[in-house]
Amino acid sequence: MPSTALDSALFRDMFGTPAMRAVFADEALTGRYLEVEVALARAEARCGVIPAEAAEAIAAAAATLAFDWPRLKRETENVGYPILPLVHQLAEAAGEAGRWVHWGATTQDIMDTANVLQIRAALALVEADIAALRGILAGLALKHRATPMAGRTHLQQALPITFGYKVAIWLAAMDRHAERLAQLRPRVLVGEFAGAAGTLASLGDQGFAVQAALCEELGLGVPAITWHVARDGIAEAVGFLGLVTGTLAKVATDIMLMMSTEFGGEVMEPFVKGRGASSTMPQKRNPISSELMLATAKAVRQQVALVLDAMVQDFERATGPWHLEWLAVPESFILSAGCLEQAKFALAGLTVDAPRMRQNLDMSGGLIVAEAVMMAAAPALGRQHAHDVIYDACRAAIGAGKPLAEVLLDMPEVVAALGGEAAVRAACDPANYLGLAPEMVDRVLAGRG
């Protein structure tokens, strides 16, 4: 019976996706082990190391092999690894050709290469999700390129921005993740075949040829040297997931804050009847997708720590750290898939309340653009004097509870410096002080690969 959220019938599709779970299911994993064993036999047959007919018999046996799962489980628990038990059943199924199964290989060769095949399939799913998210974000950024809202630093209003600018920052990060994914593939998607201590000694002068042929059979890169105890490739793949989900956690945090009552619901996750409802408070509409994004991202970060720990290995074959990857790799990909799925749902149907954003932007009565007024007055008054005058005006506006423009209009020096009443009101309009936010959106959209 399932006992964790990742395989629970209740929770599994909140924290992961069926497609990603399928990549790391037991059936898929043992299928990958068989795929590597068959590819090895064919590679060795190509190089003349084993008979060609033996390779074909091994392939045929693998294609029809029905595992005795209780036996496989029992022997795996006894041996400590699943490959020798799997080889036993494959060799038996292959008959006379079974004597050539696993020729010259070691357990870790098969397991590492199978795991790389899994990672390749998993990264393809991640790539598709990132591409979908980039499209969603690009649409939001373009639509709200000039939608003004309050920019906030230290949870306080700072200067006006646009919602499109905020979204374009998210988009630029996802663009970089797409670039990272393309760059890491050649480093991560590399086969492993090196034998007991990694020297290919069991195959003599045919070692490199078999290694290259095996990697060609599987469509993987050929390693420059054995990576049994050099786990940076695996760590990079999981670390990449930490970066992706870290970005999504930032997005989720922004959405949750903007959904809060005090922000007036500047944005809201998509409405689905009953979603985010409270069992006692009928008015509630909780940010469920964002909460799940945040939770899964935090969990992925723990897996990143595990694979970094797994890099600390002793001599030419480790005494335990490798096992950490068996836990971390599947969980990190499944959690990341869940995070990406929730992000696609939340952002694709995000409700943006532009009038509420403008209302919040006007909340300070123009104080948010005090810098704009100061800079506009500085050419006539000098920068420091303009600062002091506008500072006093801000204090007066706060004390009297009046808009900044009304206070400034009672200050002839400022009115003259700005060029009249209309100029004062224009300088105090936050929508007129967006900087290059819209143009930055354009630049992100133009630079998308």
Two structure tokens written together for 439: 């143009």
Q: Which residues pair with 267 in a beta bridge?
A: 352
**Do residues 16 and 129 lie in contact, with contact meaning Cβ atoms separated by under 8 Å?**
no
Contact 190, 116 (CB under 8 A): yes
Contact partners, residue 204, CB within 8 Å, separation at least 6: none
User: For this structure, is 278 an active site residue?
Assistant: yes
88 is catalytic: no
Cα 385 to Cα 207, 390, 403, distances in angstroms: 79, 9, 21
Q: Read off the tokens for 265.
A: 């619901």
Give dist(CA 89, CA 64) in Å, integer: 12
Catalytic residue, chosen from 154, 177, 260, 364, is: 154
d(CA 161, CA 266): 14
Whether residue 300 contacts residue 241, with contact meaning beta carbons closer than 8 Å, is answered with: yes
Selecting among 278, 279, 336, 385, the annotated active-site residue is 278
Give the span between the Cα atoms of 117 and 35, in whole angstroms. 9
Q: How far is the CA of 82 from the CAs of 122, 319, 435, in angstroms?
A: 22, 16, 61
Three-state secondary structure along 253-312?
A: HHHHHHHCHHHCCCEECCCCCCCCCCCCCCCCCCCHHHHHHHHHHHHHHHHHHHHHHHCC
Instruction: Round to whole Å and give the CA distance between 330 and 335.
Output: 9
The residues annotated as belonging to the active site are: 154, 278
